Amino acid sequence: MPLGIENVLSALGLLGIGGAIGTYLRIIWERRNSAQLQKQDFKDARYKCIIMLMYTLLDFEKRNIGLDKFGRNFSTPKDLADEIKAEWHNAILFASDEVLENLYSFIKNPSPASFKKTALSMRKDLWGGKLSATLSSLEF
């Protein structure tokens, strides 16, 4: 009979330890997942801001008024370009190499082509995957 009690106690102990280990691993996974979601949300917000700044720079006189709604007032295209440069320096903390390279190219030579290339690299950085040939060929 003592052997049966020992087996029962061992089984209960293992279940308790197994449950504790399972709970611990679940907590670690949830924390990591939460951190990844926060990082993704942060990148998404920063990229949207950068895209709006870049889009405005392409036609400053026409689009600058739209930034006033967000409390962003720029007197000249140079002021806006300086802000995009500051965003590039901040992006070093979170952006992929491809995004940084394309954003740098846009800063050096703002054009619809460099805007599109930067925006598509941001999309790739956020969501991964390949772009279809159709999407890559669209022009405005």
Q: What is the pTM of this model?
A: 0.74
pLDDT at 27: 76
Q: Is 60 helix (H, G, I), strand (E, B) or coil?
A: helix
Q: Let me know if residue 21 belongs to a domain.
A: no
Q: Let me know if residue 103 belongs to a domain.
A: yes
Domain hosting 128: range is 39-137
For residues 111-134, average pLDDT: 88
Q: Let me know if residue 16 belongs to a domain.
A: no
57-113 pLDDT, tens digit per residue, is 999 999 888 787 777 888 899 999 999 999 999 999 999 999 999 999 999 999 999
Split into its structural domains, the chain has a count of: 1
- For residue 91, which of 131, 125, 60 has the smallest C-alpha distance? 125
pLDDT at 119: 93
Dihedral over Cα of 80, 82, 86, 91: its sign: positive
Q: Let me know if residue 90 belongs to a domain.
A: yes
CA atoms within 13 A on the CB side of 50: 30
**Higher pLDDT, residue 10 or 45:** 45
